[in-house]
Structure 1
Amino acid sequence: MTEETAKRRSIVSSSHLVSDEASELSEFEFGLIIASNAFNRWIVRCMSAAGYSDLNTLDIEVLHSVNHRTREKKLADLCFVLNVEDTHTVSYALKKLVRLNLVAGNRSGKEISYSVTDEGREACERYRQIREDCLVKSMGAFGKGSDGEFNQQIGQVADVLRALSGLYDQAARSAASL
């Protein structure tokens, strides 16, 4: 533990997991937990304001992923992009979205490709507008403009999070082999 780290109290949720070699990892994990919960709460509330209060976090993530670039998506592709291991949860979300007429399935042989319906596209657009009004405009408090320092920092954090997902995936594979 460095002298600076020793002087500073770690903000963690599980002090018993703090490592002398990487106390910052415990701080990051606590930050990730609370940010993840806040993000999940946000997307559910945003979609509810858009008129769909029955959707949970995964339903919303799947809807936006199906809508992405207006190309049909297969279950395996959605699971891969969203990094979801339990395909049945995404399958259930797709069935729910089909039932709500937000997504349509197109069977080709054994596989089903999913695309967003007009209603689903409209729901995503309402979500986008609420996101602009409630979230994006609030970011202005951290720095103005799309070229602002805060936007650049958010982009850097996104890069680090994607890299860390690989680290955690590899650690999960290692733990599964024990």
Structure 2
Amino acid sequence: MTESNSGDERGDAAQPRRYIVSSSHLVSEQAAELSEFEFGLIIAGNAFGRWVVRCMAAAGMPDLSTLDVLVLHSVYHRARGKRLADICFVLNIEESHTVNYALKKLCRLGLVQRHRQGKEVVFEVTADGENCIRKYREVREACLVSTFSSLGAWSTATWRRWPRTCACSRVSMTRRRARQRRFEGFSRKRRRKLRRLRTQRFLP
């Protein structure tokens, strides 16, 4: 009889939550959700990289990497000449040699040209580069923007409320988890009573 009760108690014991992460050994008990957020950043970053590469390939330049595409757009930004340091600062890249290699590659492909302004080297997009970016924009409008627009018309006011809505959802989720932890700490008899009351509340 005692063994049966202990078995029932083990069955009712709270099961540890399983987190969706890429490195379980890094999950901290104090901030487990942070590992899930990091995993989401990894997935989103890789997905964005594939998207820009395939979008540029559809625009007629299949040999560019993710960094090449980002550097090309950064050089063309506001139609102003950019220095190597400017591009690295905007893209938050510390390894300037990787950006320098991307610029050399874009120059070889005829998409970017370099010239001197005094003692500094400035990069600008060529006519072929502008044509490539224009095609990239057309593909982006046809594939990404149109799909996003089909999800529903979002007004400017809705976009402004979006961060606040996410914050409120996060607070609600935290409160629900706190209530769940308190519920799991109750005795079996009290949990049965709470379940019965919760069920009766929704009955007609």
TM-fit CA distance, 1:108: 3.0
TM-fit CA distance, 1:138: 1.4
Which of these residues, 59, 67, 76, is aligned with residue 67 of structure 1? Answer: 76
For 1:114, what is the secondary structure of its paired residue? Answer: strand
**CA separation of 1:65 and 1:146: change in aligned 2, threshold 3 A:** farther
Residue in structure 1 matched with residue 66 of structure 2 by the alignment:
57
For 1:20, what is the secondary structure of its paired residue? Answer: coil
2:125 corresponds to which letter in structure 1? V
Question: Identity across aligned pairs (percent)?
Answer: 58
Task: Point out where structure 1 has 5 or more consecutive residues left out of the alignment.
Answer: 1-5, 158-178
In the alignment of these two chains, the number of paired residues is 151
Residue in structure 2 matched with residue 97 of structure 1 by the alignment:
106
Cα deviation per residue 1:155-177 (whole Å; 9 max; x = unaligned)?
x99xxxxxxxxxxxxxxxxxxxx
**CA separation of 1:128 and 1:151: change in aligned 2, threshold 3 A:** farther
Task: Point out where structure 2 has 5 or more consecutive residues left out of the alignment.
Answer: 1-14, 167-204
Residue in structure 2 matched with residue 46 of structure 1 by the alignment:
55
Please say if residues 75 and 87 of structure 1, whose CA atoms lie closer than 8 Å, have aligned partners that are also in contact. Answer: yes
Residue in structure 2 matched with residue 26 of structure 1 by the alignment:
35
Please say if residues 143 and 150 of structure 1, whose CA atoms lie closer than 8 Å, have aligned partners that are also in contact. Answer: no
Residue in structure 2 matched with residue 167 of structure 1 by the alignment:
none
**CA separation of 1:34 and 1:104: change in aligned 2, threshold 3 A:** same
Taking the TM superposition and a 5 Å limit, the aligned residue runs for 1:145-156 are 145=154, 147=156, 149=158, 153=162
Greater Cα shift, 60-69 or 110-119? 110-119
TM-fit CA distance, 1:90: 0.4
Residue in structure 2 matched with residue 139 of structure 1 by the alignment:
148
Greater Cα shift, 136-145 or 13-22? 136-145
For 1:10, what is the secondary structure of its paired residue? Answer: coil
Please say if residues 59 and 94 of structure 1, whose CA atoms lie closer than 8 Å, have aligned partners that are also in contact. Answer: yes
Task: Output the TM-score relative to the length of structure 2.
Answer: 0.67
- Higher radius of gyration, 1 or 2: 2
For 2:46, what is the secondary structure of its paired residue? Answer: helix
Greater Cα shift, 64-73 or 6-15? 6-15
